[in-house]
Structures are given as structure tokens and as C-alpha cells.
Amino acid sequence: MFSHLKDWIIGPALPTSSAGHKQLNKIRALAAFSPDALSSIAYANQEIYLGLIIAGSAGLAYAWTIGLAIIGLLVVVALSYYQTIHGYPTGGGSYIVARSNLGTLPGLVAAAALLVDYILNAAVSLTAGVAAVASAFPGLWPYRVMLSLFLLAVITVINLRGLRETGTVMAVPVYLFLVTYLPMLAYGAVRLWIEGPTPLTAAAVPAAVSPLTFFLILHAFATGCTALTGIEAISNGVPAFKPPQARNAGQTLIVMALLMGALFVGSIGLTQFLGVVAGPNETILSALARRLLGDGFFYFVIQFSTLLILAVAANTSFADFPRVAAIVAGDGFLPRQLRGLGDRLVFTNGILVLSIAAGVLIVFFDGDTHALIPLFAIGAFLAFTLSQAGMVLHWFREKGRGWIVKAAFNGAGALATGTTVFVVAISKFLEGAWITVLVIPLIVLAFHRVRRHYDQVKSQLSMHGLPPSLRPVSPARVVIPISGVHRGMVNAVRFAQSISSNVTAVYVEMEPGSGSRVNEEWEEWWPDVPLVVVPSPYRSLIGPLLEYLEKTDTENNDGQLAVVVLPEFVTTRWWQNLLHNQTAFLLKAALLYGRRKSGLERVVIDVPYHLRMG
């Protein structure tokens, strides 16, 4: 039943031969790699607005200045990643660049920052998308957690099915967003030129509740820097471009940066100079669209396109998180299950981990984008910083043509993003940034613990030091735990006798007198196989059996493996298992994971007997 249900939800398994990599032209690649970057204005502008509104019109007057400062940072970061594209034409993710140039520890810090960033990107994008729709339909605000989780579930199933969006499908929300927002901003610029600016003092700005301070401006800048998230996506996916890959990827990065700049500066400039103020339960971009377009059809198109691109932006995490996790797992720092492709040729385990983590954040923070943002920027900019610092050493080692200029660009990028990390961490620390500051080192520590475990397993599984001859010198000792004499154990006894002449059956007597009755029946069928009755005064099955096995292992300390043959009947229907006490399963778990005082290993063999029941 579960197999059929799985096939219905995510589809039947695909053969490995179906795996392939489709290269994209620049138009489709822009649609594939830019949603995270382009859609970030939906929450970056909102955070700048919320950070400044508490100082009233005096605070909002700094929105344009902060926007220009963030655009300056965008230029530096974009030029830095342009160098990364040409330095790592096979794909220069922050983990790869940092580990290969700075060492293992910085690489793991970059990996932890990336994984945290991808989880937060999914949560922030979905909650911001729901906020955009709820701004148009205020009745949806109380249900934003449920709606966010619903969108998360839909995106998870789509990714589990392996239905990777083609360039055409990905292009729909991206280019819809561009063809709706850019004309709206152009129309707003024309209206601003004709009507002139609206003084903030004349707008319905709420009274200031906090004085305008340098720290408040710094705080707004820090939250607005989330507009730069996603700018590294193209440098990670250079192999997806058509040849010449590095040149096409670099040109696409420049176009994406220009679009980001136009959207960000245009929207934040119009918001300030038109004196736009958001109402309760409304985003600032919704207020801007309502000011320019009214409450008609085009306003709803704007909000719908915002939801779509934010949903696609969340989907980029489902492509990048499993891939990075698989790379880190391949180096032995994460569970190996994250490396394997699922039935649909996607990293199923990575997708599920991301979905669960994002869902927990959405529920814990009550679907509030504003509450999630303080956690967001640190991971992204920490990964930026380590990547760009690694590129400086890369160019220093390569010393190719123009390496000094290239290193200077990356050095400027590392300095700018490193400073931003410090600013964000300080200004947003008490609002939740401390969580990210604490979680990233804990993840790095977990990386090392996982690697240490795998190293220990490798060492203990090594054949080095074993004696040259591994052949047994005496027959194996076989023990068959029984619950009574019935057809379900016939095959188990036959199998045990086929592998050894030293076979013993064990019955744990939980009810006084039951052992003698079982012994009489046993001798009728297998008189040549001794039966040992072990009393259990406290009605425990597993404890007395394990004690018996430890005792016999100690008494027969001949270095031979003890074999436990478990008879187990298997029901026809899954629900019929619920009617039985699963003793065989519990016993197997105890035998496999329980500590053995004797030091001898045991072989556990399960012999099933399939019941024929309706």
C-alpha cells in the first residue's frame, strides 16, 4: 500500500540512464538562476521601511540613501562573483572555493552558512509571498502559516517527483514579474516627474516612536542587505550554461545585477519620493502598487506575480540545498544518505530535510517574514565573505594574466561582505541574529563529529591486522529462540540444522509451567535438538534471553561466532502487524545494538514464514 501511495504522489522510479543535464541559453538561464535575487526586493524593501518607520518621516527620508549604499555593495559583490565565474568555470560554490583555498574549517563554515541560508530562503520567500497575497486579500492574514505550509508542501512534492522546471516553465513567473514591475516603476517615474515629489511630512506617516539615530540607520541598512541574497547562484551553476560557459554566465550575472539594481532603487525611490506609507497588514510594495495602479486588475496582477516569483525563489533552495548537502556528504561530513539519488533521480533525503526545517521555522516564527529576516542575512554574507577571500588566494596562487586586478576585485568583495556580516550581526543580534551566530558553529561541530564517526568506522572495518587464515576451527553454535511449537519455526529449525550440528533451542518461560508443556511438544518433533527453558520471574522476554546468550558465550569462549536464528511470521496485510507484539523485531534490535560483555560477535539470521490470510 505504501509503495503504491508513494508512486501516486511522486511517481514511479526512473532508471539511472534517464539522468541528464540540459544546458541553458542566457534567456533561460536568467530565469533559472535569478528568482531568488530578483524577488528579494519583496522583503528587503519591507525591512528597510519597517526599520525606518519607527522614526517617523525623519527616518523614512533615509530610505533612498540606504538604497544607494546597498546598490554600491551590489556592484562590488557582482564584480567579485564575475571573477569567481571565470576562476571556477566548473562551478564555484562557496564551500568548494573556501575549502580548496582556505582549508577544511573555513570550507565547513561556508557550507554551514549556505545550508542555513537555503533553509531560511525557503521560509522567508514563502512567508513573503503569502504576505503579498494577503495584502490584496486581508482576510487571509490569520491563515498565513497554513498557506505558507501548503505552498511548502506543494513545492516539496514537485521536487520529489523530479519535475525540474524547464527553462520555459521557469521563465513564466520570472518574466511575468519583470514585465509587470518594470513598467509599473517606469509609470511611477513618469508620474513623479509630472506631479513632483510628495513630502513625507505631508504623507500619513505615523508619529515617531523612536529617535533617529545612527544605529537605527545601520539597522535598516543591515536588514536591507537581504536584497543581495541569491546573487551567487549563477557562479554556482556555470556548467548549466551553453558554451562558452564562463562568458555566457558572466554576461547573465551582469544582466541580473542590473535588473536587481533597477527594481530595488526604482521601488525604494518611488516609495520615498511619492510619500507611500503602508497600512496595517500590508506590505510596502503592495502600498506602492496600490498608489500607482489603484485597486483594479493590474494591482492584483502585481501581487500575484510577486507570489509566483517568491514561490520560485523558494524552489531554488530545493535545487541548491540538496546539492550542497550531497557534496558535503561526499566528503564525509554529513550522513551518506544525503548523497544518494532517489527513485526520481533527485536527492530525496536532502529535499525532505530542507522541507522539514523550513516548515519548523515557518511554524515557530508564526509565518512572520519580519521575524525571520534577522536570521537570514548572516549566513548569506558569511558565505560571500569566505568565497571571495578564497578567490583572493586562488588568484595569488594562479598568477595568471591580470591576476592582481582580479584579486583586487575579490578582495574588495570580501571586505565589503565581511563588514556587512559584522554590521548585521551587531545590529540584529538581539532580534534573532544570535540564533544564526550560534547555529553555524554547532553545525560545523556536527560536521566534525560525523566525519570522526566515519573515520572510526573505516578504521575498524579495515582488514589490516587480521590473521592470514579466517576459516572456522569448530562448528558454529546456533541458538533458536522459540515462542512455542508451531509451523512458523519449522523452516528455522531446518535451516539451523543445515549450517551446524551444534543447535540449541531456547524458550523463555514467562508463565510458570508453560516450559514443561513446550518441552514435551518439542521432543515429539525434534528430539535431537536440545531445548533450554529459561525462567522469567518478571515476565520479561528479551532480558532473560540476552543473559542466557551472554552466559553461553562466556562458557564457550572459543572465538567462534554465535548464530541466532529468529523464526518470524509475516502477515499478509500491513495493518495485521498491529495485532501482534513484534517480538522478533524487538529481539533483533536488542541483539544488534545491545552491548555484549563477552566481546564475541553474533550473527542474527531472520527466517520468515509468510502467513496466507485475507
DSSP 51-104: HHHTTHHHHHTTHHHHHHHHHHHHHHHHHHHHHHHHH-TT---HHHHHHHHH-H
Instruction: Give the pLDDT of residue 575.
Output: 62
CA dist., res. 54 & res. 29, Å (int) = 40
Question: Which CATH number does 23-453 carry?
Answer: 1.20.1740.10
- Assign 480 to helix, strand or coil: strand
Give the mean model confidence (pLDDT) for residues 572-592. 72
Classify residue 137 by burial, with Cβ atoms within 10 Å: 0-12, 13-18, 19+: exposed
Instruction: Give the pLDDT of residue 609.
Output: 81
CA dist., res. 392 & res. 408, Å (int) = 8
C-alpha cell of 234? 549563477
Q: Is the pLDDT of residue 447 over 90?
A: yes
Rg (CA), the chain: 32
- The domain made up of 477-610 has a fold known as Rossmann fold (3.40.50)
Give the mean model confidence (pLDDT) for residues 140-166. 81
Residue 10 neighbours by CB distance under 10 Å: 21
Give the mean model confidence (pLDDT) for residues 513-540. 86
Quick check: 259 and 38 in contact, CB under 8 A? Answer: yes
CA dist., res. 196 & res. 61, Å (int) = 16
Instruction: Give the pLDDT of residue 206.
Output: 76
pLDDT: which is higher, 66 or 165:
66
DSSP state at residue 430: I
CA dist., res. 261 & res. 228, Å (int) = 10
Tell which residue, 597, 584, 592, has the closest CA to residue 548: 597
**One fold for both 23-453 and 477-610?**
no
Instruction: Give the pLDDT of residue 441.
Output: 93
Give the mean model confidence (pLDDT) for residues 303-326. 85
Residue 167 binned pLDDT confidence (cut-offs 50, 70, 90): very low
Give the mean model confidence (pLDDT) for residues 413-428. 82
Q: pLDDT (tens digit, 9 = 90+) per residue, 194-251?
A: 888 888 776 667 767 788 888 888 888 888 888 888 788 887 777 778 888 888 988 9
Most confident of 122-126, 374-378, 397-401: 122-126
Mean pLDDT of the chain: 82
Quick check: 530 and 546 in contact, CB under 8 A? Answer: no
Instruction: Give the pLDDT of residue 88.
Output: 80
Give the mean model confidence (pLDDT) for residues 94-118. 90
pLDDT above 90 coverage of the chain, percent:
16
Classify residue 347 by burial, with Cβ atoms within 10 Å: 0-12, 13-18, 19+: buried
CA dist., res. 220 & res. 374, Å (int) = 11
- Assign 610 to helix, strand or coil: strand
Residue 182 neighbours by CB distance under 10 Å: 14
Q: Is the pLDDT of residue 117 over 80?
A: yes
**Residues comprising the chain, all counted:** 614
Q: Is the pLDDT of residue 358 over 90?
A: yes
Residue 17 binned pLDDT confidence (cut-offs 50, 70, 90): low
H helix intervals, 137-203: 144-160, 167-195
- Assign 532 to helix, strand or coil: strand
CA dist., res. 451 & res. 107, Å (int) = 14
β-sheet bridge partners, residue 506: 481, 532
Domain residue ranges in the chain: 23-453, 477-610
Instruction: Give the pLDDT of residue 596.
Output: 62
Q: pLDDT (tens digit, 9 = 90+) per residue, 253-276?
A: 899 999 999 999 899 989 888 888
Give the mean model confidence (pLDDT) for residues 8-34. 65
Instruction: Give the pLDDT of residue 163.
Output: 52
Tell which residue, 48, 51, 77, has the closest CA to residue 419: 77
Give the mean model confidence (pLDDT) for residues 21-34. 75
The single-letter code of the amino acid at 234 is: I
- Assign 15 to helix, strand or coil: coil
CA dist., res. 208 & res. 186, Å (int) = 31
Q: Is the pLDDT of residue 165 over 60?
A: no
pLDDT: which is higher, 124 or 206:
124
Give the mean model confidence (pLDDT) for residues 555-584. 73
C-alpha cell of 110? 561556508
Residue found under cell 524593501: 45
CA dist., res. 414 & res. 141, Å (int) = 40
Torsion sign, CA atoms 397, 399, 400, 406: positive
Tell which residue, 546, 516, 521, 520, has the closest CA to residue 533: 516
Give the mean model confidence (pLDDT) for residues 44-69. 87
pLDDT: which is higher, 341 or 332:
332
Q: Which of 115-124, 282-291, 531-540 has the lowest mean pLDDT?
A: 531-540
DSSP 334-400: S-GGGTS--TTSS-HHHHHHHHHHHHHHHHHTTT-HHHHHHHHHHHHHHHHHHHHHHHHHHHHHH--
pLDDT: which is higher, 229 or 21:
229
Give the mean model confidence (pLDDT) for residues 416-433. 80
CA dist., res. 102 & res. 485, Å (int) = 66
Q: Which of 100-109, 129-138, 156-165, 326-335 has the lowest mean pLDDT?
A: 156-165
Residue 432 binned pLDDT confidence (cut-offs 50, 70, 90): confident
Instruction: Give the pLDDT of residue 354.
Output: 94
Q: Is the pLDDT of residue 548 over 90?
A: no
Residue 35 neighbours by CB distance under 10 Å: 26
Task: Measure the N-to-C terminal CA separation of the chain; round to a whole number of Å.
Answer: 15
Cα three-residue angle 406-407-410, rounded to 5 degrees: 90
Torsion sign, CA atoms 424, 426, 427, 431: positive
Q: Is the pLDDT of residue 24 over 90?
A: no
